[in-house]
């Protein structure tokens, strides 16, 4: 729920667009403002080549679901949607089944989807990261198929690293992203799994982003708090584009 002012949201986008457009050959940038600011941001981004996404959606097309937003409503101006973010799982009780239904509905409405997975700190400390992440990937992608692979992204966000300033060790991130890609391969086939992008998220900033995007199996980052500072986020985009430009 940031920023709380629509004008600030538009200013933030304007501050990011020049670097995002200049880096378009090497990195795809998508911005995910709160629902009330989507239309205003869409107008500013029109023709820029930068993608627009929503932070969530419901799994039904329409109906008596007060307060919800369907993927059919987003399809007019959004290209992306995030489902299963850990904050929705924690604060709103979203289950893997709900995430799976949301992902399938979004894909059916021609949206590209970022599915978030990640373990709690207790899981990490107990050495259960692989177990938890594997179960989340299998359940959350249960309704996806090989045909969806080019529009499907899985973001590994260890919950203990989100908004805490404690980013995951790159080696742990690499091992977990490798696991995610293997599980996706088991679900939809190895060939299709190679088209699915896997991101890292969790206290990503301009100072540490290179340590993640340089990992062989990391296709980018899902950025939280640092995306609320135009200069910081622009630097993240720039660094990522430089790394991918040399691959």
Q: What ranges do the domains of the chain cover?
A: 6-245
Mean pLDDT calculated for residue range 8-17: 97
Q: State the catalytic residue, choosing from 94, 119, 157, 232.
A: 157
d(CA 86, CA 99): 11
Q: State the catalytic residue, choosing from 85, 94, 119, 123.
A: 85
Residue 34 pLDDT more than 90? yes
Instruction: Output the CATH code of domain 6-245.
Output: 3.20.20.70
> What confidence tens digit (pLDDT) does each residue in 80-108 have?
999 999 999 999 999 999 999 999 999 99
Q: What is the pLDDT of residue 229?
A: 97
d(CA 212, CA 220): 8
> What confidence tens digit (pLDDT) does each residue in 114-147 have?
999 999 999 999 999 999 999 999 999 999 999 9
Is 85 among the catalytic positions?
Answer: yes
Phi, psi of 20 (to 5 degrees): -60, -40
Is 172 among the catalytic positions?
Answer: no
d(CA 61, CA 80): 16
Q: What is the pLDDT of residue 247?
A: 80
Q: What is the pLDDT of residue 166?
A: 82
Lowest average pLDDT, out of 62-66, 167-171, 197-201, 216-220, goes to 167-171
d(CA 188, CA 190): 7
Quickly list H helices, the chain. 6-22, 38-45, 71-74, 86-91, 96-108, 121-125, 129-140, 170-188, 190-193, 209-213, 230-245
Q: What band does 1 get if pLDDT is binned at 50, 70 and 90?
A: very high
């Amino acid at each position: 729920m940031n920023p709380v002012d629509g004008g600030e949201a538009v200013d933030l986008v304007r501050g990011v667009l020049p670097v995002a457009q200049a880096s378009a050959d090497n990195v795809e940038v998508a911005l995910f403002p709160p629902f009330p600011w989507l239309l205003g941001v869409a107008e500013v981004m029109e023709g820029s080549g930068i993608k627009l996404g929503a932070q969530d959606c419901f799994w039904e097309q329409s109906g008596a679901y007060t307060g919800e937003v369907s993927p059919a409503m987003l399809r007019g101006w959004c290209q992306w949607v995030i489902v299963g973010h850990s904050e929705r799982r924690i604060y709103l009780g979203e289950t893997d089944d709900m995430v799976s239904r949301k992902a399938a509905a979004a894909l059916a409405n021609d949206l590209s989807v970022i599915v978030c997975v990640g373990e709690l700190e207790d899981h990490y400390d107990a050495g259960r990261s692989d177990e938890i992440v594997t179960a989340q990937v299998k359940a959350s992608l249960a309704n996806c198929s090989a045909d969806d692979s080019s529009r499907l992204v899985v973001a590994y966000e260890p919950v203990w690293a989100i908004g805490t300033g404690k980013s995951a060790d790159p080696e742990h991130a690499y091992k977990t992203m490798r696991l995610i890609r293997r599980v996706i391969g088991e679900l939809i086939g190895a060939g299709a799994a190679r088209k699915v992008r896997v991101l890292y998220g969790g206290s990503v900033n301009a100072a540490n982003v290179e340590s993640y995007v340089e990992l062989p199996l990391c296709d980018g980052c899902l950025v939280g708090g640092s995306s609320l500072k135009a200069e910081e986020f622009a630097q993240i985009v720039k660094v990522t584009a430089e790394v991918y430009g040399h691959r």
